[in-house]
C-alpha cells in the first residue's frame, strides 16, 4: 500500500510573532507544496529520503532518533515527531519532495508536518478531518519548536486566506484577494524556534516597551482585515509597511530583509514587509501593476519567487 499527501506553503500577511502572544493574524496558502509518500519498507529499517535537499536518514521512530546518511538535520525532527504520534513503528519508506524553500518563512515545517500526518493517517486507515489534522500538526510544531502558534498548520491544512482571532477563532476570507505578491528571499535561513525565543527574551527584558508593540501589531492586523474585506489595496500596503516597522522593533529583521523591503518599495510596491519568523528568510511585496519592476529590483541582490494565493489545502489518498 502507498499513501500520498501534499500540503501548501503559506505566507503571513499580518501578525507573525504577535500571534504567539494570542494576537490575531492573517495568512494565506500559496501555490508551493510539500509532497510526502509512504510505503512499506523493503528491509527491516525505516528510511526517510528528501532528494530535493539531498537528505537521507534511517529512522529509529520508537526512540525518536535517526541516523543521518546524507544532508543536514532539521526538517527531519518534524517527521520524527509525527511518526512518534501516528505510527506503529513498523518499517516504512518516507519520501519528501517539495518546492517550498526550507527555513525561508514560507512555512515548510508546517507543510511537511501536515502532509506527513495526513499520509500516516491514510497509511494506517486512521479517521481524521481538517480540524483534527490542523490540531495534531500544531501539536507537532509545538513539540519540535517549543513554542508555535496554530497559524501555519491551519493554513497548510485548510488552504485559502485565513484570519485567526485573539480567541483562536478561525475565519476563512470569502473575498478573492488576488493582488499580485512578490516574495523575496535570501540565502540566509531563519530558524523559527530561535527567533520566537529571541522575541520572548527581548519582551521579558523590556516588557513596558515590547508588550504595547505586540498589542499594536494585533490592532493593526484587525485594521488590515477590514481593508482586505474592502479590497482596499493601498490601505493594506500602508499597514504592511507599518507592520515591517514593528518587526524591526522586535528585532527579527536583518540587513538582507530590509534591503529587499526597501528595494521593493523604491520599485513601486505599495507595501512590503518581512514575512514569517525573520532572522533570514523572506519578504512579501504587494505590487499591483508593478510586479516585474519589483521582482527585478529584488532580484538584483536576492532571489524572488512569484506566488499566488491558493484555496487548495491538504490533499491525501491511498493506492492499494
Angle at alpha carbon of residue 247, lines to 246 and 252, rounded to 5°: 150
Out of 277, 283, 284, 305, the only residue in the binding site for ligand PMV (CB under 6 A) is: 277
Nearest Cα neighbor of 303 from 108, 110, 101 is: 101
Q: Distance between CA atoms of 15 and 10, rounded to whole angstroms?
A: 13
109 forms part of the interface with ligand ADP (CB under 6 A): yes
81 forms part of the interface with ligand PMV (CB under 6 A): no
Across the beta sheet with 282-286, what order do the strands follow?
271-275, 282-286, 181-185, 303-307
Question: Whose Cβ is closer to Mg ion: residue 141's or residue 302's?
Answer: 141
CB atoms within 10 A of CB 275: 31
104 forms part of the interface with Mg ion (CB under 5 A): no
Could you tell me the smallest distance in angstroms from the CB atom of residue 276 to ligand PMV?
3
Strand partners for 267: none
Q: Which residue has the cell 508593478?
A: 290
What's the grid cell of residue 14?
499580518
* 152 has catalytic annotation: yes
14 touches 165 (CB < 8 A): no
Question: Whose Cβ is closer to ligand ADP: residue 187's or residue 219's?
Answer: 187
Question: Whose Cβ is closer to ligand ADP: residue 133's or residue 227's?
Answer: 133
Q: Distance between CA atoms of 91 and 60, rounded to whole angstroms?
A: 9
74 forms part of the interface with ligand ADP (CB under 6 A): yes
116 forms part of the interface with Mg ion (CB under 5 A): no
Give the residue numbers of the binding site for ATP. Answer: 101-111
Give the residue numbers of the binding site. Answer: 101-111
Interface with ligand ADP by CB under 6 A: which residues?
53, 55, 71-72, 74-75, 102-109, 189, 191-192, 276
Active site residues: 152
Interface with ligand PMV by CB under 6 A: which residues?
16-17, 19-20, 105-107, 109, 148-149, 151-152, 192, 196, 276-277, 281
Amino acid at each position: 500500500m502507498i499513501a500520498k499527501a501534499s500540503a501548501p506553503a503559506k505566507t503571513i500577511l499580518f501578525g507573525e510573532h504577535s500571534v504567539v502572544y494570542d494576537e490575531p493574524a492573517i495568512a494565506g496558502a500559496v501555490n508551493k507544496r510539500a509532497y510526502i509518500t509512504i510505503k512499506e519498507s523493503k528491509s527491516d529499517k525505516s528510511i526517510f529520503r528528501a532528494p530535493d535537499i539531498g537528505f537521507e536518514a534511517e529512522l529509529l521512530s520508537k526512540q525518536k532518533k535517526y541516523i543521518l546518511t546524507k544532508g543536514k538535520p532539521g526538517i527531519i525532527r518534524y517527521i520524527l515527531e509525527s511518526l512518534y504520534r501516528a505510527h506503529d513503528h513498523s518499517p516504512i519508506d518516507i519520501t519528501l519532495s517539495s518546492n517550498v524553500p526550507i527555513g525561508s518563512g514560507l512555512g515548510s515545517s508546517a507543510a511537511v508536518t501536515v502532509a506527513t500526518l495526513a499520509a500516516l493517517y491514510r497509511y494506517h486507515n486512521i479517521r481524521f478531518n481538517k480540524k483534527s489534522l490542523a490540531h495534531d500538526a500544531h501539536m507537532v510544531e509545538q513539540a519540535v519548536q517549543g513554542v508555535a502558534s496554530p497559524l501555519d498548520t491551519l493554513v497548510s491544512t485548510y488552504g485559502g486566506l485565513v484570519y485567526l482571532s485573539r480567541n483562536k477563532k478561525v475565519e476563512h476570507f470569502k473575498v478573492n484577494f488576488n493582488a499580485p505578491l512578490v516574495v523575496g528571499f535570501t540565502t540566509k535561513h531563519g530558524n523559527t524556534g530561535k527567533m520566537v525565543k529571541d522575541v520572548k527574551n527581548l519582551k521579558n527584558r523590556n516588557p513596558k516597551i515590547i508588550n504595547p508593540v505586540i498589542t499594536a501589531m494585533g490592532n493593526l492586523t484587525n485594521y488590515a482585515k477590514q481593508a482586505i474585506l474592502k479590497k482596499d489595496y493601498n490601505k493594506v500596503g500602508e499597514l504592511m509597511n507599518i507592520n515591517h516597522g514593528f518587526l524591526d522593533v522586535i528585532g527579527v529583521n536583518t540587513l538582507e530583509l530590509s534591503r529587499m523591503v526597501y528595494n521593493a518599495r523604491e520599485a513601486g510596491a505599495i507595501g512590503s514587509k518581512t514575512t514569517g519568523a525573520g532572522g533570514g528568510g523572506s519578504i512579501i511585496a504587494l505590487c499591483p501593476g508593478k510586479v516585474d519592476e519589483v521582482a527585478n529590483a529584488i532580484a538584483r541582490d536576492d532571489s524572488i519567487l512569484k506566488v499566488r494565493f491558493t484555496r487548495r489545502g491538504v490533499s491525501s489518498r491511498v493506492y492499494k
